[in-house]
Amino acid sequence: MSIDAELDDLRREVERLRGILPERVDVDPDGVEHGLAKLVLTLVEFLRQLLERQAVRRMEGGTLSDEEVERMGLALMRLEQKVHEMARTFGIDPSELNLELGPLGRLV
């Protein structure tokens, strides 16, 4: 798959999500750090999942060498571990780091 096709896929995914996310965030002064951490970590997890799906497509398409597959897998695994570690630091259950996609269900 070409980079243009992958970018088009990503654009379609973002457009699909646009109507699901709230336009305004109700900020509680006492919980702002927790809420911000959850928002940021959720977005990072979303991007990690997109990268993982792209990596799988590239691997299945044969465009990655064995070394690249190994490096990418290790990097994605470490990123997932770090996101989960940071979530626990803020008292967030890592399973909460998922986008609710309305009638489509959850991201994963």
> What confidence tens digit (pLDDT) does each residue in 75-94 have?
999 999 998 999 899 888 88
Cα distances (angstroms) measured from residue 107 to each of 11, 66, 74, 78: 16, 28, 22, 20
The CB density around residue 63, as the number of other CB atoms within 10 Å, is: 10
Nearest to 57 by CA among 5, 95, 1: 1
pTM over 0.85: no
Is the separation of the CB atoms in 108 and 49 below 8 Å?
yes
What confidence tens digit (pLDDT) does each residue in 5-39 have?
Answer: 877 877 777 776 666 555 665 566 767 788 888 88
